[in-house]
């Protein structure tokens, strides 16, 4: 089982719709969870982070965390063509000598105009 799993997609949604991106993780002791957006040929940029169970909203983005189910999601409201990118779920896990961040393989999102 992969440590952080995402559906690779592509996920295609029409402009204005809600895009829902999902991620599961294996380490029950994980404390910090992040969503990054990566445009083709560019490096990842942080969109959201969440530490506590529940929802966290920032503009059109909402991150949801359920530690009991080991599940984290990202909702994008009023999707725009500029949201088309690969979205990476990342989880901080304790490791020998400190912590390390495990990235999922990413979900490709296409927003159709």
Partner 1 sequence: GAVVSQHPSWVICKSGTSVKIECRSLDFQATTMFWYRQFPKQSLMLMATSNEGSKATYEQGVEKDKFLINHASLTLSTLTVTSAHPEDSSFYICSASLAGARNEQFFGPGTRLTVL
For partner 1, the binding residues (CB under 8 A) are 31-32, 34, 36, 41-46, 49, 51, 88, 90, 92, 94, 97-101, 103-106
Output the CA–CA distances (angstroms, integers) from residue 13 to 19, 49, 52, 97, 113, in the order listed. Answer: 7, 23, 28, 42, 9
Shortest Cβ 17–partner 1 spacing (Å): 25
Q: Which is nearer to partner 1, 18 or 31 (CB)?
A: 31
Q: Which is nearer to partner 1, 17 or 70 (CB)?
A: 70
Which 8-state DSSP code applies to residue 45? E
CA gap 109, 85 in Å, rounded = 5
Shortest Cβ 15–partner 1 spacing (Å): 25
Q: Which is nearer to partner 1, 18 or 46 (CB)?
A: 46
Which phi and psi angles does 80 have, rounded to 5°?
Answer: -120, 155
């Amino acid at each position: 089982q992969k440590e952080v799993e995402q559906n690779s997609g592509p996920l295609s949604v029409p402009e204005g719709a809600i895009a829902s991106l999902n991620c599961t993780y294996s380490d029950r002791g994980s404390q910090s969870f992040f969503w990054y957006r990566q445009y083709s040929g560019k490096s990842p940029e942080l969109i959201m982070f969440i530490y506590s169970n529940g929802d966290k909203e920032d503009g059109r983005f909402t991150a949801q965390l359920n530690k009991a189910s080991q599940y984290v999601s990202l909702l994008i409201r009023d999707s725009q063509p500029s949201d088309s990118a690969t979205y990476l779920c990342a989880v901080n896990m304790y490791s020998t000598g400190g912590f390390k961040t495990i990235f999922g393989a990413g979900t490709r999102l296409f927003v159709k105009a």
